[in-house]
Structure 1
Amino acid sequence: MHLPTLPWAPTAVEGRPITIIGAGCLGRRIACIFSAGGHTVHLRDPSAKARTEALDYITEHMGEYDNFPLIPRNRGPCLAFSDLDTAVQNAWLVIESVPERLPLKIDVMGELDAKTPEDCILASNSSSFKTSFMVEKVRSQRRPLICNMHFAMPPRIRAVELMTNGETYLEVLSFLTWILDDCGMMPVTARKESTGLVRSHCLNTVT
């Protein structure tokens, strides 16, 4: 008897980093969430000023995130990089948190598709654009590993909105929900794409 084969199952993530593209207001907060959850975090930003300010924020505010995980654990290391290749090396999850300009996000997703491991999940923190709008330069076989992952404004607000791009494996969304729960966040999943802002759709969707 052959058991059914799932279209996707998580690969080993232990020892592999989560990479945040963009060290701005939300990028540095996202880094704190995963570091508090025990994950190794890589922050990538071409601006030395942004990287310095992000690391300063993490040093000053990390204590506000330490009690997020349900099970206390040691913080994961958080490192900042200017070089994209180094930042995404061996990453299992990459979250883009760059300015809300669609052409920029299209370029970033295309570059991430080319430079990240084949099993790496690519997520967008965008609250305005669906990830289906960002895959113009992404190979078709990679698109099921792409989704929206919109963070509000932690540590004050722990909500995270996950949304399919229309092709995303449901197992990917379920796995990310488990990871976010484990980090003490409050994920909500939209299994259909929003026609407007991600937030307005997700908050009215029951999974």
Structure 2
Amino acid sequence: MSNFFARLALMQESSLADICDMQESIDIRERADKWLREVVAQAAVDARESAMSFYRTIVALASGATVISLTLVEKILPKGQPQASVVFLFGAWWCFALSLVSVLIAFLLAARQYRITATALGRMVADLVLEPNYSPRVLQTGASQYSRSRSTYVLQVVAVGLFALGMMALVLFASCNYTQRDGRVGSDLRFFHEARLG
């Protein structure tokens, strides 16, 4: 009989130890869940702010360059003389306009991607809370699957490229017309002037 009570006491001690271990495991899991949620949320906020800053910069630069080109037309373009290389001006305006359009499309795609990512990460965190075999790698692997879409990246590169082309065309337009301002054509730009007259 005393052996039975000894076993019962031993079982109670081991079950108390198991309960303490389980409680400690649950606390660790809850802290890890909270930390991972904060990390994922902060990463999403940082990525969104970075993308928004990029979009604002490109829009401001392209808009500013368009205004500068309009000023160049008014101030530099010689009045009453044949206009040299107007093609460069129209090319610059087209590049700036297409750059703005690609930024707007990239912005819309990025907003859609952020909504998809937030929904997917929320589901994964909810699944991990209910999942008995917790693994932080599951959330990290899932988060990497919902990164920035390739189309958004391509549109960002296209926007920067178009802006650079527009700036080059604007510089060529200004330099061609500035050298004509006094009725002379610079020797390095004679080709453009002759092609226009020819």
Q: Tell me the TM-score normalised to structure 1 length.
A: 0.20
What TM-score do you get using the length of structure 2 for normalisation?
0.21
State the structure with bigger RCO (CA 8 A, min sep 6), 1 or 2: 2
